[in-house]
Amino acid sequence: MNKILKSIYMPILAVIIAIIIGSIIMLVTGFNPLAAYASLFIGAFGTLPNIANTLANAVPLIITGLGVAIAFNAGLFNIGAEGQYWIGAIVATWIGYSFKGLPWYIHIPFALIGAMVAAGLWGGIVPGFAKAYTGAHEVITTMMMSYVAIYFSHYLLEFGPMMEKGSVPQSPLIKDSAIIPTILRNTQLSYGIFIAIAAALFVYWLMYKTVWGYEMRAVGFNQRASKYAGMNVPLNIVLSLSLSGIFAGLAGAVQILGVQHRLYDSFTSGYGYTAIVVALLAKNNPIGVVFSALLFAALGTGSQYMQLNAQVPGQLADVITGLIIFFVAADKIIEVLKSMFKKQKKEELAS
Amino acid sequence: MKRLRVVLSLVLAFVLTLSLLSGCTSKTKQQSSQPNSTGQASKNKNFKVGLVTDVGGINDHSFNQLAYQGIEKAKNELGVTVNFIQSKQQTDYVTNLTQFAQQKYNLVIAVGYLMKDAVEQVSKEFPDTKFLIIDSDITDRPNVASATFKTEQCGYLVGVMAGLMEKEKNAKLNDQNVVGVIGGMQIPPVDSYIAGFQQGVKAVNPDTKVLVSYTGNFNDPASGKQMALTQISQGADIVFGVAGQAGDGVINAAKEKNIYAIGVDADQNYMAPDTVMTSALKKVDTATFDTIKSVLDNNFKSGLVYFDLANDGVGYAKPIKDVPQSIVDKVDEYAKQIKDGTIKVSDQVQK
Amino acid sequence: MSALLEVNNITKMFPKVRANDGVNLVVEEGEIHAILGENGAGKSTLMNIIYGLYRPDSGELKFNGEVLNLSGPHEAIEKGIGMVHQHFMLIPVLTVAENIVLGAEPGGISYNKKKANELIREISRNYHLEIDPDAKVKDLSVGLQQRVEILKAFYRHAKLLILDEPTAMLTPQETEELFGIMRNLKNQGISIIFISHKLDEVKEISDKVTVMRRGKTVGTLNTKETNEQELANLMVGREVVLRLEKSEYNPGDVVLSVKDLTVSDEQNIEKVKNVSFDIRSGEIFGLAGIDGNGQTELIEALMGLRPIKSGVIKYNNNNIEKLPTRERYKLGISYIPQDRQQEGLIMKFSVADNLILKEYKNSQYSKNGVIQYKRVFENASKKVEEFDIRPTDYNLLAGNLSGGNQQKIILAREVGSNPKLLIAVQPTRGMDVGAIEYIHKRLLQLRDEGSAILLVSLELEEIMSLSDRIGVIHNGVIMDILDGKSATREKIGLLMAGSQIEAKKVEV
């Protein structure tokens, strides 16, 4: 228990400091922070539909965040989760609209698994093998693969093979049999949330209870010692990048089947990048990912509501989000501040 | 540690006090932002209009911004209450539209074809709320109006102006008789402008060569600039950018090479006052204002609503001094012929 | 002689630890005074107090009869106290002269190179510390770098020189040179505090020894009047067995047989050349040699961590040179790698996880790919107790344990699995007397139980006291294989240096 408290203590402190600084900024720019935070909170958790929308927004962040966390645990920086998300979304969409007459219990798993396999190959094969056997840095390769995926989606949707008839660059709607149903009317919350939570539990189990997770973490912490212990280091690199891609792809698929129901032409979903911060905030703990994704989702939905009801511009919510990221990433700064206080106290005692 | 807690709580208390104080001030400020209470205005105060932007946000120099100007105008002239939310990602659309509908807004405006699915979904759930979607084609809902702009008409008029200018002589014009148009993506809303432009030029100056190229995106000014520079090197001395933010690069290139540019959607003269000789206007502000008025007057029409020269839904911006009055008169003459049907403008690009 | 430095009843508290507890020390002019103690006994804390890095909580320092109240090292330097840290504080890209004068440059604002070089030449002549002032520090050997550190102290007119574990990084030859320098300095009236946990060195070089244990000084002795056994007992606080009694040499079948093995490094330079040797069960085969003569490549080849160029490795009469590392472990080979933190352990894994680093896949600890943590913890608590790993909480990260206890984790894993062949590379490096005694005891016990052991060590003492047979490697070649009982230090030393002929002469 104490251990858990200790591990969430720093992130919470980071959030509190960000809120305080955000308040100061709002005061300076002439907004009422109390009203703003109140509406931020109501927007995120105030009503049942708002809670549902917060949960809905958390779904892609949880699953993509898990993917990034797996790679982090293996000592790899998968910055290309965005591209793997796109690959998953593309494949899920294609399976979703191309196959007619399948029952839902085949169509949905088919789309999800197809997306996972494609994204796993996307993340694992090229960047994984490049890293494992030539040492090419995964930050570069995953990012480049990400661009390829995104531009590939542009090609598909802008008068390409996946464009719906008409003038709008978007895919056809997926068939009803591929739609993951909504839990609460008038919200975006689908049963995908259960997939997300199951995924988190699965990843936790995988990383901390299985031989495979043991190996991936060992390779992540110390490649040399892992090699000396007889582990196949390159294989583990490929596998962990693939697994990372599989989850990013699952996120894209769940989002398509549960929320969007078709693929739109846009430059970025943003989930792949936010997921990096989500994983960092969670210190790569799969269960922590659920909570940090919820925090970011709450900031997202809450900030829309804040615009509407406290007339605070959405950008200010971005500022607060940014501050949280800053303080989390820089929790060393907080540690330094803490030790400064401590030192001062000690010197007072000494003199 | 204790000391840190003390400091934190002091800061917190300080922020709370300040926010209580500012709470009073910001309330008065909100009131002052209400419209001047003329008789009619106070009657319309309970009429609420909500605007949901797409991911471009209200400062996009284009249709989101124009839509915002439209509702601001309605607030000032009609005394209605207006509010807006800027969407951050595509999955926000449904949430944001629902947010307004749930709060019993009388009219909810969705900007852009990307929101089509969201409007279809939400309008079904809230049959008592009226919706306006810009640039789309929803026809089967009694409570949804789709604003469609005949931009080939304004494209034609600026084409006429460009064709006539090619016969003029001044420092910015060469004698090669070439003009250029740069599109974003090859999609109908862009192509209608280009088609009109081609026909307009040919109508007054059949020998003029019209170069056509596409950047392939709407968000990269550098690519627009590159395209424009290529056309300029081929002799173009008037360039027309129909490419969103990529079009900013077109204007930039024209300014740098000291030739003329034609703006699009909004009056873009402010971006380069000596360079942008006119702009082809797509009056989203007019469309939003008119629709608000029609709902207010119980005159709402669902389905496709066309905005063209006849109802002042499209047009051209007041040209700069370099354009002789004789040419402006000529352009107006063509405008009249389009209005009365003498000239029919096609929206198909000539290859 | 009069006292140069007096330390009276110094106490220094750290959170939870009394690092120095009523410490007393007197260092006289022109004496070499050794401070002996195990890791964590408080030697470094005491030195940092003398050097002004820490302030004592209570007690008094006197230097030249004057009470010192140091606010930092700069004041200590001013008074004439110099210190050479275990890890050098040099800037590799600068020259020797620049490093020495750094922070106290002659000639005001603009650096006067000529004058600096002159000054340094003069000092090095006076103290017999020859060095080229214009050489870049990064091009110097560890021994010479240490010399630069010493010069730095004398450039600042040190009267008292503190050497913190100065021999830890040196080769035996460099150690001898350092001792020569120390004797020289002593003759010129310089006092030296020599910190070490190596008994033989202390015995060889010091005039007096102060032994520390758990933050306290437990006694000061005249070196001449004591012996290694007494010092070791004082240090550890109990009777220590320095030279373990070996039972009768009773070799069994050949377990490991290496024939004509040749191994190259990454640059394709041959590091092991046509090496052949056998190790039998119930025997410790010591591999002696100066660091970097092919030991690393040989061991990595034996473990399957490095491809071989040619030759045969047989284990229990089966060829294993093509087997991957894990398969070799499965056959009952254990391996204690040289660098415990980089190669032997995963510092961010718990003790329990580290204890199964090689066996997590075995049916003992995992079923259908799921690790059976109940068994892992059972194993951990058993091993923690058996190998006296402290603290006893096996959920702690390995990185949070002391070096000695980290080594015990590896020992528990590698020795505790009852291997048929154990390859131990420098198993006692950086350990203190108590831990060394323990590890040696374990190795001998394993031998008596019938395992074959390949012991690679740079410590001749260790090789000679444990090995039944000794192979000496030089430049990738096994120079000779000697009988452990009759081999002499001198002969092994000559073989290590590559001189076969000289060694033959000794034999005659």
Give the tens place of pLDDT for each residue, C380-419.
Answer: 999 999 988 888 899 999 988 878 889 999 999 999 888 9
| Interface contact A308-B83, CB threshold 8 A | yes
| Interface contact B85-A304, CB threshold 8 A | yes
3 state DSSP class of C333: strand
**Mean per-residue pLDDT, B237-242:** 95
Q: How confident is the model at residue C111 (pLDDT cuts 50, 70, 90)?
A: low
Asked whether the predicted pLDDT for residue B39 surpasses 60, the reply is: no
- Residue B94 dihedral angles phi and psi, to the nearest 5°: -60, -45
In the numeric block, the tokens 């591999």 are attached to: C287
Share of chain B above pLDDT 70, in %: 88
Q: Does B32-149+284-307 match B151-281+321-339 in CATH topology?
A: yes
For every residue of A58-101, DSSP letters joined together read HHHHHHHHHHHHHHHHTT---TTHHHHHHHHHHHHHHHHHH--S
CA proximity to B292, closest of B67, B6, B12: B67
How high is the pLDDT of residue A330?
Answer: 67
Q: How confident is the model at residue B42 (pLDDT cuts 50, 70, 90)?
A: low
How high is the pLDDT of residue A109?
Answer: 97
Taking CB atoms and an 8 Å cut-off, how many pairs form between chains A and C? 61
| Interface contact C344-A225, CB threshold 8 A | yes
Asked whether the predicted pLDDT for residue C93 surpasses 50, the reply is: yes
Which H helix or E strand runs over C211? strand C208-213
Asked whether the predicted pLDDT for residue A54 surpasses 70, the reply is: yes
Asked if the peptide bond before residue C391 counts as cis, ω within 30 degrees of 0, the response is yes
3 state DSSP class of C375: helix
Tell me whether B36 touches chain A (CB under 8 Å): no
Q: Which residues, other chains included, contact C382 with Cβ-Cβ below 8 Å and sequence gap of 6+?
A: none
- Residue ranges covered by each domain of chain B: 32-149+284-307, 151-281+321-339
| Interface contact B3-A260, CB threshold 8 A | no
| Interface contact C345-A225, CB threshold 8 A | yes
Tell me which chain B residues have a C-beta less than 8 angstroms from the C-beta of A303: 88
Asked whether the predicted pLDDT for residue A194 surpasses 80, the reply is: yes
Name the minimum distance, in Å, from the CA of C353 to any CA of chain A: 9
Asked whether the predicted pLDDT for residue B7 surpasses 60, the reply is: no
**Token pair listed for C115:** 């004058």
How high is the pLDDT of residue B35?
Answer: 45
**Mean per-residue pLDDT, C276-295:** 93
pLDDT tens-digit readout, A233-268: 999 999 999 999 999 999 999 999 999 899 987 766
**Token pair listed for B143:** 């409570």
How far apart are the C-alpha atoms of A181 and B190, rounded to whole Å? Answer: 36
Q: Dihedral sign for Cα A139, A141, A144, A148, please.
A: negative
Name the minimum distance, in Å, from the CA of B87 to any CA of chain A: 8
Name the minimum distance, in Å, from the CA of A208 to any CA of chain C: 9
pLDDT tens-digit readout, A277-294: 889 888 889 999 999 999
Nearest by CB to residue B30, choosing from A168, A308, A311, is A311
CATH class of B32-149+284-307: alpha beta
Does this model's pTM top 0.80? My answer is: no
How far apart are the C-alpha atoms of B78 and B72, rounded to whole Å? Answer: 10
Q: Which residues, other chains included, contact A108 with Cβ-Cβ below 8 Å and sequence gap of 6+?
A: A177, A178, A180, A257
Contact predicate A154/A281, CB 8 Å: no
C66 forms beta bridges with C63
Nearest by CB to residue A229, choosing from C348, C358, C369, is C358
Any idea how long chain C is?
508
Q: How confident is the model at residue B41 (pLDDT cuts 50, 70, 90)?
A: low
How far apart are the C-alpha atoms of A218 and A224, rounded to whole Å? Answer: 10
Strands lying side by side in the sheet with C254-264:
C270-280, C254-264, C310-315, C318-319
The region that residue C269 occupies, defined by phi over 0 for left and psi between -120 and 50 for alpha, beta otherwise, is beta
Contact predicate B210/B154, CB 8 Å: no
Is C133 exposed, middle or buried, given 0-12, 13-18 or 19+ CB atoms closer than 10 A? Answer: buried
Tell me whether A296 touches chain B (CB under 8 Å): no
Asked whether the predicted pLDDT for residue B12 surpasses 90, the reply is: no
Which H helix or E strand runs over B30? helix B2-32
How far apart are the C-alpha atoms of B56 and C423, rounded to whole Å? Answer: 66
Tell me which chain C residues have a C-beta less than 8 angstroms from the C-beta of A73: none
C3 forms beta bridges with C28
How high is the pLDDT of residue A248?
Answer: 96
Lowest mean pLDDT across A183-187, A249-253, C16-20, C180-184: C16-20
How high is the pLDDT of residue C142?
Answer: 80
pLDDT tens-digit readout, B110-164: 998 888 889 999 999 999 999 999 988 889 999 999 999 999 999 999 999 999 9
How high is the pLDDT of residue A133?
Answer: 84
Interface subset of A 25-44, CB within 8 angstroms of B? 26-27, 30-35
CA proximity to B89, closest of A279, A174, A266, A323: A266
Q: CA dihedral in degrees (A8, A10, A15, A20; nearest 10)?
A: 140
Asked whether the predicted pLDDT for residue A127 surpasses 70, the reply is: yes
Which H helix or E strand runs over C501? helix C500-507
Name the minimum distance, in Å, from the CA of A53 to any CA of chain C: 36
**Mean per-residue pLDDT, C436-463:** 91
3-state helix, strand, coil in chain A (%, to 5): 80, 0, 20
How high is the pLDDT of residue A268?
Answer: 66
How high is the pLDDT of residue A59?
Answer: 96
How far apart are the C-alpha atoms of B280 and B11, rounded to whole Å? Answer: 54
Asked whether the predicted pLDDT for residue A351 surpasses 60, the reply is: no
Calculate the alpha carbon distances from C188 to A276, C5, C82, C83, C183 in Å. Answer: 64, 17, 16, 18, 9
Asked whether the predicted pLDDT for residue A89 surpasses 60, the reply is: yes
Asked whether the predicted pLDDT for residue A331 surpasses 70, the reply is: no
Asked whether the predicted pLDDT for residue B105 surpasses 80, the reply is: yes
How far apart are the C-alpha atoms of A68 and A84, rounded to whole Å? Answer: 11
Contact predicate B63/B112, CB 8 Å: yes
3 state DSSP class of B110: strand
Q: How confident is the model at residue B20 (pLDDT cuts 50, 70, 90)?
A: very low
Q: How confident is the model at residue B284 (pLDDT cuts 50, 70, 90)?
A: very high
Q: CA dihedral in degrees (C142, C144, C145, C149; nearest 10)?
A: 130
Which H helix or E strand runs over A195? helix A192-209
**Parallel, antiparallel or unpaired: strands C191-196 and C160-164:** parallel
Q: Where are the alpha helices (DSSP H) in C51-136?
A: 73-79, 96-101, 113-127
First to last CA, chain B: 74
In the numeric block, the tokens 């990529």 are attached to: B246
Contact predicate C487/C464, CB 8 Å: yes
Q: In Å, how far from its chain's centre is CA C14?
A: 26
**Mean per-residue pLDDT, B76-92:** 87
How high is the pLDDT of residue B19?
Answer: 45
Asked whether the predicted pLDDT for residue A269 surpasses 80, the reply is: no
How high is the pLDDT of residue C331?
Answer: 94
**Token pair listed for A160:** 């390409």
C283 forms beta bridges with C452
Name the minimum distance, in Å, from the CA of B159 to any CA of chain A: 24
How high is the pLDDT of residue A347?
Answer: 47
How high is the pLDDT of residue B34?
Answer: 43
CATH class of B151-281+321-339: alpha beta
Q: If DSSP states are collapsed to H, E and C, what string results for C430-480?
A: CCCHHHHHHHHHHHHHHHHCCCEEEEEECCHHHHHHHCCEEEEEECCEEEE
Q: Rounded mean pLDDT of chain C?
A: 88
In the numeric block, the tokens 């004591």 are attached to: C226
- Residue ranges covered by each domain of chain A: 60-283
**Mean per-residue pLDDT, C113-138:** 84
Name the minimum distance, in Å, from the CA of A226 to any CA of chain B: 39
Crossing angle (nearest 10°) for helices A48-73 and A81-98: 120
Calculate the alpha carbon distances from C453 to B148, C317, C388 in Å. Answer: 87, 17, 22
Asked whether the predicted pLDDT for residue A295 surpasses 60, the reply is: yes
Q: Dihedral sign for Cα C55, C56, C59, C61, please.
A: negative
How far apart are the C-alpha atoms of A175 and A93, rounded to whole Å? Answer: 9
Cβ–Cβ contacts within 10 Å for residue A1, how many?
A: 5
> Which residue numbers of C have CB closer than 8 Å to A's CBs?
303, 305, 324-329, 335, 337, 342-349, 353, 357-358, 360-361, 366, 369-371, 373
Strands lying side by side in the sheet with C469-474:
C333-336, C421-425, C452-457, C283-288, C469-474, C477-483
Amino acid identity, position A277: V
Asked whether the predicted pLDDT for residue C108 surpasses 80, the reply is: no
Contact predicate A182/B94, CB 8 Å: no
* CA max distance for chain B: 84
Share of chain B above pLDDT 90, in %: 64
Shortest CA distance from B96: residue in chain A: A304
Asked whether the predicted pLDDT for residue C327 surpasses 70, the reply is: yes
Tell me which chain A residues have a C-beta less than 8 angstroms from the C-beta of C345: 222, 225
| Interface contact A342-B1, CB threshold 8 A | yes
How high is the pLDDT of residue B31?
Answer: 35
Q: In Å, how far from its chain's centre is CA B52?
A: 14
Lowest mean pLDDT across B19-33, B243-257, C123-137, C443-457: B19-33
Angle at A192 between CA A165 and CA A294, to 5 degrees: 115
Asked whether the predicted pLDDT for residue B51 surpasses 70, the reply is: yes
Q: Dihedral sign for Cα A82, A87, A92, A94, please.
A: positive
How high is the pLDDT of residue C377?
Answer: 96
Asked whether the predicted pLDDT for residue B5 surpasses 60, the reply is: no
